[in-house]
Structures are given as C-alpha cells and as structure tokens.
Amino acid sequence: MSEEIKTMRNVALAGHGGAGKTTLAEAMLFKAGVTNRLGKVEEGNTAMDFQPEEIRKQQSINTSFIKYTHNKHSLTLMDTPGDQNFFSAAKTCFPVADSMAFVIDGVSGPSAMTEEAAVSALEYNLPGFVIINKLDRERADYSTSIEACKTALKKKIVPICYPIGAEDNFKGFVNIISGQAFVYDAEGKSSKIDVPSDISDDIEMAKEEFIENVAELDDDLLEKYLEGEEITQDEIKAVFRKGIQDAQFYPAICCSATKMIGIDMIFDIITDYMPSPLDRGDWIAKDVNGEDVVISPDPDAEFCGFVFNTIVDPYAGRLSLFRVISGSLGKEGNVVNTTKDTKERFSQLLYIAGKEQKPVTRAVPGSIVAVAKLKNTLTGDTLTEGKDIQIPAPKPMPPVISFAIAPKEKSDEDKIHEAVRKILEEDTGLKLQRNEETKQTILSGRGLVHIEVTAEKIQRKFNVGMGIETPKVAYRETFKKKIRVQGKHKKQSGGHGQYGDCWIVLEPLPKGSGFEFVDKIVGGVIPKNYIPAVEAGVTEASRNGILAGFPCVDFRVTLDFGSYHSVDSSEMAFKMAGTLAFKKAAVDAKPTLLEPVMKIAVKVPEDSTGDIMGDLNSRRGRVLGMDSEDDKQIINALVPMAEILRYAPDLSSMTGGRGTFTMEFEQYDEVPGDMAKKVIDRVNAENEENK
C-alpha cells in the first residue's frame, strides 16, 4: 500500500487569471489519453471549466479536479482560479496539494494572484516548479519572465530549459539537465535534434549555471565542482531532487500549452521530482488543549481527513471534498467531525473527475475524495475515527466589496435567504449580514464580478432571481451648538389629563462619546420616578435625527428643571415631554451630518503609488503614511465609506490587477456642507417615495 502512496502526486496549478492554467490542464489530459480531444476555453468544451458561469466568462471560477496516470504514477491535478474575485476557491485547496505548478504568462509575467499563491506555497512549505507558458505569443520572453518570478515568488528560480526559437517561431527547447534538444510538430509530438549551433554557447553557460546552483546545495558536490572533478548525471539529479523536495528553489521550464510544447517535460518533472504524500511527511493537528499532534501518512494508522471544499447541489445535496491525511477509508462507513463534534455516516466514496463523480472502493493517505450528504460538515472541518484533533484550516480571504441584495420577486424573500445560505457553504469568500439600521441584507465578497456570478449561480441552482445594488451608507447626525429648551406635553380630554413638563440642555460632546443623560433636578420639581421617562423620550427621538432621520450621536442632554401635576402627570406624559424637548432643541442646536470613515491599507507595486495616492485624495481621503513590504508599498489612509463602496474594481484597473487592500471602520467625521445637503436631499426624497 505504501508503494501506491509513493507513486501518488497531488499538484495544484496556480497563477494569475489568463496565464493559461486550464488550457495547460486540457493539454495534459489530452496527452495522457484521458480525453480524446483537446478542449479549448474559447469554445467552452474543456473538461476543467464546465460550469455555465465558467463557460460564459471563459475563466475558472471553482477549483476543478482530474486524475491521470503517467509512468505508473497516479496524479491528481487541481486547476485553481486565478482571478482575484474567485481566488478564495484556490486558497482553500492549496493546503491539500503536495506541490504547486506556477503557470506564468510569458508575455505579461507573474501578476498579483501569482504572488498570493506563492505566499500560500511558503506558508505550507510546498515544493513547486515554474511553467513559463504562452512563449509562442508576440512579445513573450522567457528570460524576462524568469527574472520577474524571482521577485514575485520570493524564491530562487533555477531554469532547466532553454527555448528554441521565440514568439511565432518557438518550436521546442533544450533540456539543460540532459543536454538534449527537442522540437515539436503541429500535433505536439516531439523529435530529438542536435542543439542548434546558434544557441550552443548559451546552452553551455546555462548548463554551467545550473550545475553551480545544484552544487551549492551539497557540500561534497560543491567540493567536487570547485576542484573541477566530473559530476555524474545521477549525482546532479539526486541533489537536484532533494533541493526541490526541501523547497529550496523552483525549477523553471518553457511551454506553449496551445502548441503542446513542453507537456511531456511537465509530466517528467511531476513524476521524477515533485513529492508524494510520503515525501511531504507529517501533518500537524491540534488537540483539545491546543497542543500540536503529529499525524503521519500511515495507511494503517487511525483515519484522519481534512475537508477543503464543498459543492452544493440543490438536488443531490452537499458534496464534501477531503484529503485523507492518515489511515484509510472503505467505500462506506462512519466518521466523527471533530470541528462540529458530531458523528457522520457516508454510504459511497467518490473521486471527482471534472464534472463527473466516480465511485471508489477505498482511499489511502494522499487520496483526494468526496462523500455526499454529510449533515453538518463544511469546508475547513476535520474528520476522524474518533480522535479529538483538528487540522488548522486556512483563514477565509477578507471581503473587499459589499452589496445590498434582495429577491427580484417579493414572494421569494425566504427562498433567497436559504439559497444564499447554501452558496455560502461552498464559497468561503462570501459573507452575509443584516444591517438593521439601513434594513438591508448585505452580501460581501472579493469583487463585483464575484457577487454577480453568485447571483447567476443562485438563479441557476435555486431558480431565484437576486438583485444587487450599492448598499446605503449608515450616516449619523450630531450637534455643534449648546441650547436650552422646554418640552411640555399637556392634554385635557375629560377625566384624567396628561401633563409633563421638562427643561433640557442639549450640548455637543467630543467625537466617539455617544449619548449621555444627566439628571440635575433638585427640589423634586420632577418626581424621581418620571426622570427615566424623560430620558426614554429623548433616546427614542434621537434615533431619528432632524436632518434625514439618521441616529444622533456625541451629545449630552441635561435635565435641569420642570414641573408636574399630582393627578395628570404620568410616565407616558414625561416621555412625550422628553421627545418634544429633544426635537425642539435639535432644530436650533446646529445639527450636522456625520459619515463613516474607513481606515484603508492599499498594497501596490512601487510604480503605482503616485496614482493611488492621487486617487485616494480625489476620494476625499487623507493619507496617513506609507510602509514597505518586499517590493510593494502599503499606503495607509482614512477615506469616507461613501467614496470606496466600489473601490475593488477601480484599484484592479489602476494597478493591472496587482493591487490589494484591506479596510476597517475607523470613525465618524463631519460631511462637508455642500455634500451633506446632497445626501440629505437624496435621503429625504427616498423616504418620501417609500411612504
């Protein structure tokens, strides 16, 4: 059984959207004989991108899985999304891969999500290799892409190929390790040729540099190299493999997925150099006390699995995808979800092959399998035979944009919430909350496209139309002037009347103080049992300010005088008096509008900092300062929420997809006069319409 695990490979294709990951996966499947035709993203007939939303947008939205065999090795390929809108679907899958293949566009080089994937590779100490793709395209450049990868991937890059030809003329490569040259025909079949004379000197230099890079990893090999002794191919390969397995560097190769150039080289790198689950070794779980527990990939040990993905089907129910960390599973059985502290039963074990689900009879460490209809299990959960441990799950990526959602048909109110709740089970990049103040349901995600695609999924899967709109801003009102007024409620209607009389002082307080009520009644002019009623009247009235009905903050009300009637006074009468007093004072206390201000940290390439700072200033932002992180600049600023409700797509546009940001609420600030008037007029008009 260990031999079976030894020949297993789990590889995640990672990189920025548009680098050609899905096209490369299709070429690999075709070359491996899994498919009998070469699927094309443009034609919507790929094995990996099969969801209607993926076909329409011509990009990966979910991670797809497929298995193939090569040289008696069993390989699971994960085609992960590279668009920032859907990158959360990639990030949940990286921990269960044993290695990463970084697919790089040979024209534009590595971009933002390539860098994000590299961070995950470093976090899990995953070995990997670099595929410079699209070298047949105009302006594609292998050497330039390699140099860019050294910075973007934060790792040493060791080229093991040298391209033959460039752009339209790219037709093959020289394998620097073996010294052999290959060219490819129109069908993607390779032929061995002599190294072209015009690049022979370059190959010699590349070979020398390669041996030097490898020799540095081993003291004995380095000594032989420095003394000019001959180093055998086997010695080089052994040290080279160990360097890859220890994630000391990433080897790099050249490729054109559309022309099928380099696909066989990718197969060889994966089988010869990438780790098996046994090579990856132990996993670290946590026990109930938070202490580390070592979990080994031993097929005879107690079962432990980690759920890394969930697929929701309105008819078939929930499908839970997990990796077996230790032990083994049969085609049916019982497991314990230690995250939820519940027992689960499954009746069929499956592996995912594109859009198909195929039954399997057992799973061993390293197997990536699925089971259907687990009642309480979701992404990030740990499954065991009973041992109370948990595998730490990756933190969800923070949402960067929010929209108010509502059903397109009023009768679908309940259905929309149930549909969104189910979609949240499979998409960790989404967050749902109810804003009681604005009475809106807010769906937050990684971008506008993310939310739009979610709406499409809900329509397709649950037949519910979901409308999205920019959420309302939760403004506040406050006061700038101190004023003293009387609030008197007197009503006679036969029998007992109503009488409440109070004098209050309303005055502004410093920012962030909230509301304060002070009782300064002396001599019993208002009985003590009526004073809380005055406060209640003020509090209730302050929830709807005088300008546009927003809650009032940062003010003090002091109750200092009043009168009462021994028969007609009551708590209700004094509550009304408090309400009248507040409303009267609010008119003359110079009411003003406040807006929420967000603290934002924008991480961008250095050459974009000027544009970003200018843009933040145009959004009424105030730059607080800058920090550096590797080759990026982090701009810290305070910006009104109203100005950055749709900041995510704007930032992506300004930085070519290489900018990211986080934000959190900081404070409320006064809205400038002319802008305040526009907000007040707009909100009051909306309120009139809704009456």
Same fold, 2-280 and 594-676: no
* Distance (Å, whole) CA 406 – CA 467: 5
For residue 661, give the nearest of 598, 599, 603 by alpha carbon: 603
pTM of the model: 0.81
DSSP string covering 159-170, please?
Answer: E-EEEES-GGG-
Range of 80-89, 179-188, 535-544 with top mean pLDDT: 535-544
Q: CATH topology for 476-589?
A: Ribosomal Protein S5; domain 2 (3.30.230)
Return all residues near 387 (Cβ < 8 A) that are at least 6 apart: 302, 304, 338
Distance CA 324, CA 280 (A): 13
The Cα 37–Cα 31 span in angstroms is 9
- As a whole number, mean pLDDT of residues 310-314 equals 82
Please list, in sequence order, all residues whose beta carbon lies within 8 angstroms of the beta carbon of residue 547, skipping any fewer than 6 positions away: 477, 591, 592, 593, 676, 680
CA distance 376 to 389: 17
Asked if the model's pLDDT at residue 446 lies above 80, the reply is yes
Structure tokens at 192: 């061995």
Give residues with Cβ within 8 angstroms of 687, minimum separation 6. 548, 549
What angle (nearest 5°) sits at the alpha carbon of residue 106, between those of residues 104 and 111? 45
> With contact defined as beta carbons under 8 Å apart, do 138 and 185 qualify?
no
Q: What is the 8-class DSSP label of residue 691?
A: -
d(CA 605, CA 628): 10
Q: In terms of DSSP bridges, do strands 440-445 and 431-435 run parallel, antiparallel, or are they unpaired? A: antiparallel
Write down the residue that tokens 């903050």 correspond to.
553
Under a CB-based contact definition with an 8 Å cutoff, are residues 165 and 172 in contact? yes
Q: Which long-range contacts (CB under 8 A, 24 or more apart) does 194-197 make?
A: 196/164
Instruction: Check residue 562 and give its pLDDT.
Output: 95
Whether residue 311 contacts residue 357, with contact meaning beta carbons closer than 8 Å, is answered with no
For the chain, the domains span 2-280, 283-390, 401-469, 476-589, 594-676
The enclosing H or E element of 586 equals: helix 571-588
Does residue 53 register a pLDDT over 70? no
- How far, in Å, CA of 201 to CA of 173, rounded? 15
Q: Taking the domain 401-469, which CATH number applies?
A: 3.30.70.870
Distance in angstroms (rounded) separating the CA atoms of residues 669 and 590: 16
Q: Does the structure show a pLDDT above 80 at 46?
A: no
**Lowest model confidence (mean pLDDT) among 78-82, 193-197, 537-541:** 78-82
With H, G, I as helix, E, B as strand and everything else as coil, classify residue 78: strand
Q: Which residues contact 105 (CB under 8 A, 6 or more apart)?
A: 15, 16, 18, 19, 20, 111, 133, 134, 145
Determine phi and psi for 73, rounding to 5 degrees: -110, 140
Helices (H), 625-672: 647-655
Residue 285 neighbours by CB under 8 Å, 6+ apart: 292, 293, 294, 295, 304, 382, 389, 390, 391, 392
Encoding tokens for residue 555? Answer: 């003010």
3-class SS of residue 349:
strand
Beta carbons of 254 and 171 less than 8 angstroms apart: no
Closest CA to 172 of 50, 233, 259: 259
Given a contact cutoff of 8 angstroms between Cβ atoms, the answer to whether 559 and 521 are in contact is yes
- Has residue 39 got a pLDDT over 80? no
SS3 206: helix
Give how far the C-alpha of residue 344 lies from the chain's centroid of Cα atoms, to the nearest Å.
29
Give the residue with greater pLDDT, 438 vs 486: 486
Fold for 283-390, please state it. Answer: Elongation Factor Tu (Ef-tu); domain 3 (2.40.30)
Question: What b/e readout covers 554-579, taking b as 16+ CB neighbours within 10 angstroms?
Answer: bbbbbbbbbebeeebbbbebbbbbbb
Which CA distances in Å does 225 have to 200, 211, 244? Answer: 22, 8, 20
Q: Give the 3-state secondary structure of 260-323.
A: CECHHHHHHHHHHHCCCHHHHCCEEEEECCCCEEEECCCCCCCCEEEEEEEEEECCCEEEEEEE
pLDDT in tens, 364-381: 999 999 999 898 999 999
* Percent of all residues in the chain with a pLDDT value above 90, rounded to a whole number: 55
pLDDT, mean of residues 668-679: 91
What is the average per-residue pLDDT within 106-124? 89
pLDDT reading at 625 higher than 90: yes
**Averaged pLDDT, 66-94:** 87
Using pLDDT thresholds of 50, 70 and 90, give the confidence band for residue 354: confident
User: Is residue 663's pLDDT more than 90?
Assistant: no
Torsion of Cα atoms, 160 then 164 then 170 then 171, to 10° = -100
| Maximum Cα interatomic distance, the chain, rounded to a whole number of Å | 117
Please give the Cα distance from 435 to 438 (Å, whole number): 6
Integer-rounded Cα Rg, in Å, for the chain is 32
**Token representation of residue 466:** 């979901």
For residue 510, the model assigns a pLDDT of 94
Q: State yes or no: pLDDT of 56 exceeds 80.
A: no
Q: What is the CATH number of domain 594-676?
A: 3.30.70.240
Q: Which secondary structure element, helix H or strand E, spans residue 192, and what is its range? A: strand 190-193
Average pLDDT value for residue range 636-665: 87
The superfamily (CATH) of domain 2-280 is P-loop containing nucleotide triphosphate hydrolases (3.40.50.300)
Q: Give the span between the Cα atoms of 449 and 83, in whole angstroms.
A: 10
Of the candidates 211, 206, 213, 205, the one whose C-alpha atom is nearest the C-alpha of residue 228 is 211
Q: With 0-12 CB in 10 A as exposed, 13-18 as middle and 19+ as buried, what is 465?
A: middle
- Mean pLDDT in the chain? 89
The 10s digit of each residue's pLDDT in 526-570 is: 999 999 999 999 999 999 999 999 999 999 999 999 999 988 999
Token output for 33: 């004989």
pLDDT over threshold 90, residue 395: no
Distance between CA 445 and CA 128 in Å, rounded?
Answer: 29
* pLDDT at residue number 670: 94
Name the token pair of 513.
């103080």
Cβ atoms 359, 331 nearer than 8 A: yes
Q: Distance between the two ends of the chain, CA-based, in angstroms? A: 71
Is the model's pLDDT at 655 over the cut of 90? no
Contact 562, 526 (CB under 8 A): yes
Average pLDDT for 193-203: 91
The residue among 625 and 687 whose pLDDT is bigger is: 625
What are residue 227's DSSP bridge partners? none
Q: What is the mean pLDDT of residues 164-185?
A: 93
In a 13 Å sphere around the CA of 496, the CA atoms on its Cβ side amount to 11
| Tens-digit pLDDT profile for residues 224-274 | 878 777 777 888 888 899 999 999 999 999 999 999 999 999 999 999 999
Average pLDDT over residues 291-297: 93
User: 213 falls in which pLDDT band (50, 70, 90)?
Assistant: confident
At residue 495, does pLDDT exceed 70? no
Mean pLDDT of 382-396: 91
